[in-house]
């Protein structure tokens, strides 16, 4: 199924991350770095999540947690919780990334390369390892590409 690639300006926007394990921590860190107003919902999580300094409600997900959200990441290790989050997001017309089931997501996180003003996002369907390999190949090739173009940055 074709997708519509898009970059989002999440600056100041409310984004909810449900879960606080390693995947949720990476997602919350990237969102915080992009300027999002990140709220984490999880009873426990990684030390790295605690170090992010984002708003963290240390409890289970509850109805109403998506109020005012622009985007949600369902990144728990409990499929049933992720399904409930995704269903409520769909009802509220909020984009939802399910870390456990890309086929049931309304949005996906690509493998991303940031190099100054250049952003490269790679999606390889349901093969994140391939996406990372392609992204890393672009990273290695980027200096040569820029050199051939006379580095227009």
pLDDT tens per residue across span 108-149 = 999 999 998 899 999 988 788 999 999 999 999 999 999 999
Provide the strand spans (E) within 6-141: 14-18, 37-41, 55-57, 71-74, 95-98, 111-115, 118-122
Mean pLDDT of the chain: 94
- pLDDT recorded at residue 103: 87
Q: By the 8 A CB rule, do 131 and 124 touch?
A: yes
Say what percent of the chain tops pLDDT 70: 99
Whether residue 61 is predicted with pLDDT greater than 80 in this model: the reply is yes
- Residues in contact with 66: Cβ distance below 8 Å, sequence separation at least 6, in sequence order: 16, 72, 85, 88, 89, 92, 94
Residue 121's SS3 state is strand
**Measured between alpha carbons, how far is 17 from 75 in angstroms, rounded to an integer?**
7
**Measured between alpha carbons, how far is 130 from 30 in angstroms, rounded to an integer?**
21
Q: Higher model confidence: residue 37 or residue 1? A: 37
Per-residue pLDDT band for 4 (boundaries 50, 70, 90) equals: confident
Q: By the 8 A CB rule, do 21 and 45 touch?
A: yes
- pLDDT recorded at residue 1: 53
């Amino acid at each position: 199924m074709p997708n519509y690639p898009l970059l989002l300006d999440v600056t100041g926007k409310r984004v909810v991350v449900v879960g606080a394990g390693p995947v949720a921590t990476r997602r919350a860190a990237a969102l915080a770095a992009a300027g999002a107003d990140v709220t984490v919902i999880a009873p426990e999580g990684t030390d790295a999540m605690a170090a992010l300094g984002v708003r963290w409600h240390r409890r289970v997900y509850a109805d109403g947690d998506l109020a005012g959200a622009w985007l949600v990441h369902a990144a728990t290790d409990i499929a049933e919780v992720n399904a409930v989050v995704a269903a409520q997001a769909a009802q509220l017309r909020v984009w939802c990334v399910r870390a456990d089931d890309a086929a049931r997501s309304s949005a996906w996180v690509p493998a991303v390369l940031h190099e100054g003003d250049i952003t490269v996002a790679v999606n390889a369907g349901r093969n994140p390892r391939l996406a990372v390999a392609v992204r890393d190949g672009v990273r290695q090739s980027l200096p040569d590409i820029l050199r051939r173009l006379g580095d227009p940055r």
